[in-house]
Structure 1
């Protein structure tokens, strides 16, 4: 920030991201914090290399003005990106209501004692961003391929494990089914015996009480026989 009392100038350093055969621009902001109209003029030590718009103008009271500085396309890279170019911003209080058409060269003549203030700006070239390294890109591609192969192997191995587990489960299911069949047949035996006894009693013409007695005896014998077989 400039210490000038008439205009405040930001930044005090013009930074250009240097690239060959390409125009590059940066901006300045001139701020007028007073109640006066302020005239300004921008000069450079290398006018053929830079274009300044506007290079002269009026900053109204309590307002700002943006100045665009454009560096023409360069054909050669400067050694170590060093630059000795300089800019000079001159400012002076103008008459109330002044416009850019009212600005004259005499207004910025310091010998006339018109209260001209000056601010010097330096120029800096910034190296362009470097492209990503091909080696790094290749490493990332190899890593991605390796991860894909690893994940594919894990999926195949998981599928095989699941398939093997299913194959082992089938004989176990068959064994459980075979063991369950005799138990089902054995549990059905008392019921079948009871039905045969009831049918035989009806066939012989026994009364209801006699039939119930016979059924009870048959049921008791079947139960006793079941427990004897179980033990």
Structure 2
């Protein structure tokens, strides 16, 4: 016992077996060494049991408890036999290690790490203050010795232990390293809640991604419309620029033609017009000739 990392009490997990009712069992881990010890709980029936917590740290010269809860069963096994098994793995870890630092690789066996394994059996017991059913010739019979009231057994190390005077324990086979037994980590209540929260987060994430994809598609459609309108505006601006340039050229041509016309019109006035002195001379000559003709 002194060489073991953890002292485990009890070694048999006793559950009161009643239809549609849960039953719990408290397990105590004692660390008598001067090392930090990490532990992990596994079971062959993870859907049937809930372990809280299923991993943890036991500090030097201290204790740690975990609770194993058997889920409500529809019916009681006729022979009160149960082949479920639990395995507690423990290993020494560095000083100051916490539960958050625990990883699955800590319990992987290799040539440089010592992993201690302790196997626990499951024992089903009849509920207190009720006749004990014993299988006799294939049928369940009442135990005649169980007519008096049954007092509750003393709880040892916090273990829920309500067996009647005579209980039928299961013949649990030992876990052998070479035997092919599927051991899976027991799921705790926190893990179940965490799994549910993860599923909800995944669903919310998918909804957000769908909404984001839809919004992105709408933005891309609007962006394409804006690009088309922008191209039309660029085309219109280019046409207006060409027309403006043509109008400017035409206006400049008209201005030049007007200047030429103005220039040509001033020359004709100078050429066609008669000087005032010439007109006076012609009039005077006409008067003289008329006077001579009348004389």
Q: TM-score, normalised by structure 1?
A: 0.54
CA contact (8 A) 2:18 2:75 kept: no
> Structure 1 pair 68/6, CA: closer, same or farther in 2 (3 Å)?
same
Partner of 2:32: 33
Distance across 2 between alignment mates of 1:36 and 1:29? 18
Distance across 2 between alignment mates of 1:29 and 1:3? 17
> Structure 1 pair 111/73, CA: closer, same or farther in 2 (3 Å)?
same
Q: What is the deviation of 1:131? A: 4.2
Distance across 2 between alignment mates of 1:38 and 1:131? 42
Q: What is the deviation of 1:34? A: 0.7
Partner of 1:45: 44
Distance across 1 between alignment mates of 2:9 and 2:109? 23
Distance across 2 between alignment mates of 1:59 and 1:103? 12
Tell me if 1:16 matches 2:15: yes
Partner of 1:119: 118
Distance across 2 between alignment mates of 1:54 and 1:70? 11
Distance across 2 between alignment mates of 1:95 and 1:63? 16
Q: What is the deviation of 1:77? A: 1.4
> Structure 1 pair 3/50, CA: closer, same or farther in 2 (3 Å)?
farther
Distance across 1 between alignment mates of 2:128 and 2:77? 17
Q: What is the deviation of 1:111? A: 2.8
Partner of 2:293: none
Q: TM-score, normalised by structure 2?
A: 0.43
Tell me if 1:109 matches 2:81: no
Partner of 2:81: 82
Tell me if 1:66 matches 2:69: no
Distance across 1 between alignment mates of 2:40 and 2:52? 11
CA contact (8 A) 1:36 1:60 kept: yes
Q: What is the deviation of 1:3? A: 7.3
Matched residue SS, 1:111 = coil
Distance across 2 between alignment mates of 1:35 and 1:129? 41
Q: What is the deviation of 1:5? A: 1.2
Distance across 2 between alignment mates of 1:120 and 1:6? 14
CA contact (8 A) 1:39 1:56 kept: yes
CA contact (8 A) 2:28 2:64 kept: yes
| RMSD across aligned positions (CA) | 1.7
Distance across 2 between alignment mates of 1:62 and 1:131? 41
Moved over 2 A (4+): 129-133
Distance across 2 between alignment mates of 1:34 and 1:21? 42
Matched residue SS, 1:80 = coil
Partner of 1:95: 94
